[in-house]
Structure 1
Amino acid sequence: MMLVTWLSAAALAQDLPFEQYTLDNGLTVVLHEDHALPQVVVNTWYRVGSKDEVAGRSGFAHLFEHLMFMGTDRLPGNGFDVVMEGHGGWNNAFTFEDGTNYYDVGPAELVDTFLWMEADRMSALGEAMTQEKLDLQRDVVRNERR
């Protein structure tokens, strides 16, 4: 099973059967089921990227992408990775001009957990975000841009 929350028109033009829904909160869900393997891919796209940054103040989309891996109030520290890797899964993200993408791959029975973790990542940084984490990731992003 694969859950994708935003795709380009070119990707949708392929001959893959899918269902598309728009949730009450405006989120577009594109669902493609493939039961060839007992795994799920949750692929979440946000329509915000480097094109949304102000001239002379770049790198924020990439920085925020990094900060989303620094833990939340409910999954502190590397709790996200502990859940993923503890079940043989993995995840990553990337930022580009038109958007930011987060993806999770793992056992199909964890689809609800993956969806919950993605929602948590975007809504529960709260006390988990510290100046130390911000400074660390700012330096990481600066080094990646060199």
Structure 2
Amino acid sequence: MATNNTLQTQSVDWLDEEDDLQDVEDTESLASAEEDQQDRAPEAVLSEFVGKNDHTWYLIKWQDSPILWSSWECGTIFDGRPALLEQWKEEKQKQLEGKSKPLDVKAFNEAVAHVETAERQRRILRRLRRRIKNVLNVIDLSHYSESY
């Protein structure tokens, strides 16, 4: 029986270690997604807003990425990309003239929040499934050790 308790304790400790590893994996996957995005070229400016201290932020759509992966960037995004800034100025003028419809930023932010929530729930579910699987393995191992 002592070996059974030792086995269960070791398995439970291992569960905690896996959770730590899973958190690292999730962080690394998010970091790699951000790095991947930084390697992509900006495709278009979707919107802008002026923040504190009159600092302007631009919502950038990245090339070969879904629109929901767009991100808010400062004006340095235009360094070495004058065509991107010119394209945005033309788009803003079209919007002022009513020839083009501006992006609904509120709806965009809600969609991004929805996707982020779904992704967070997916990671939680994945961790829970692993925990359950490991607990079932512990139960299965303890069943075998009791029969011997």
Same fold (TM over 0.5): no
Name whichever structure is richer in helix by fraction: 2
TM range (shorter): under 0.3
